Structure 1
Amino acid sequence: MAARSIASLSLSFGLVSIPVKLYAATESSSDVRFNLLAPDGSRVKQQYVSEKTGAVVERSSMNKGYEFERDRFVVFTGDELKALEDSASHVVEIVAFIPEKAVNPVFYDKAYYIAPDKRGGKPYSLLQQALAESGRCALAKWAFRGRTRIVQVRPEEGGLVFQQLLYADEVRSLSDLHIEHVQVSDSELKLALQIIEQGTEDNYDPTAYVDEEKQRILAAIDEKIEGKQIIANEPAGVTGSGGQVIDLMDALRASLKGGKPKAAAAATPTAPKRKSAEPVTKLPVAPRTRKPATRAEKAPAETPAKVRARK
Structure 2
Amino acid sequence: MPARSIASLSLSFGLVSIPVKLYTATESSSDVRFNLLAPDGSRVKQQYVSEATGAVVERSNMKKGYEFEKDKFVVFTADELKALEDAASHVVEILAFIPEKAVNPVYYDKAYYIAPDKRGGKPYCLLQQALAESGRCALAKWAFKGKTRIVQVRPEADGLVFQQLLFADEVRSLEELHIEHIQVSDAELKLALQIIDQGAEDNYDPTAYEDDEKKRILAAIDEKIEGKQVVIHEPDEATAGGAQVIDLMEALRASLKGGAKAKPASTPKRKSAEEPVAEIAAAPKTRKPAARAPKTPAQEPAKVRARK
Please indicate, yes or no, whether the TM-score normalized by the shorter chain is above 0.5: yes
Distance 1:308 1:138 in 2: 43
Where do 5+ consecutive residues of structure 1 fail to align? 230-292
C-alpha contact (below 8 Å) 2:221/2:304 kept by paired residues: no
Q: How does the TM-score come out when normalised to structure 2?
A: 0.77
* Structure 1 counterpart of 2:177: 177
Residue in structure 2 matched with residue 302 of structure 1 by the alignment: 300
The Cα RMSD (Å) is 1.6
Q: Does 1:64 align with 2:61?
A: no
Where do residues 83-232 of structure 1 align in structure 2 (5 Å cutoff)?
Answer: 83-227=83-227
Task: Tell me the CA shift for residue 306 of structure 1.
Answer: 5.2
3-state DSSP class of the match of 2:12? Answer: strand
Q: CA deviation at 1:228?
A: 6.8
CA distance in 2, matches of 1:213, 1:99: 37
Which one has a bigger Cα radius of gyration?
A: 1
Structure 2 residue identity aligned to 1:118: K
> Cα distance, 1:65 vs. partner?
1.4
Asked if 1 retains the 8 angstrom alpha-carbon contact of 2:218 and 2:300, the reply is: no
Distance 1:110 1:306, change over 3 A: farther
Runs of 4+ deviating beyond 6 Å: none
Tell me how far apart the structure 1 counterparts of residues 34 and 148 of structure 2 sit (CA, whole Å).
34
Asked if the contact 1:218–1:305 (Cα under 8 Å) also holds between the matched residues in 2, the reply is: no
- SS at 1:28's partner residue? coil
Q: 2:175 aligns to what SS in structure 1?
A: helix
**C-alpha distance after superposition, 1:194-238 (max 9, x if no partner):** 211111111000011111111111110111123379xxxxxxxxx
- 2:14 is the counterpart of 1:45: no
Match of 1:9 in 2: 9
1:305 to partner: Cα distance: 5.6
User: 3-state SS of the aligned residue for 1:175?
Assistant: helix
* Separation in structure 1 between the aligned mates of residue 175 and residue 12 of structure 2, nearest angstrom: 37
Contact residue 154 and residue 160 of structure 2 kept, 8 A: yes
Secondary structure of 1:96's match?
A: strand
The superposition leaves residues 16-71 of structure 1 with CA deviations (integer Å, 9 ceiling, x where unpaired) of: 00000000000110011011111111110000000110000011111111111222
Instruction: Please give the secondary structure, in 1, of the residue aligned with 2:9.
Output: strand
Which amino acid counterpart does residue 151 of structure 1 have in structure 2?
A: V
Task: Spell out, residue by residue over 1:241-291, the C-alpha distance to the aligned partner (whole angstroms, 9 max, x if none).
Answer: xxxxxxxxxxxxxxxxxxxxxxxxxxxxxxxxxxxxxxxxxxxxxxxxxxx
- Segments of 5+ residues of structure 2 without an aligned counterpart are 230-289
Total equivalences in the alignment: 247
2:66 partner SS: strand
Is the 1:19–1:117 contact (alpha carbons within 8 Å) kept by the matching residues of 2? yes
Amino acid at match of 1:18: I
- Native 8 Å contact 2:94 2:141 kept in 1: yes
| Aligned amino acid, residue 181 of structure 2 | H
Q: For each residue in 1:161-209, what CA deviation from the matched residue of structure 2 results, as whole angstroms up to 9, or x when unmatched?
A: 0000000000111111111111111121112112111111110000111
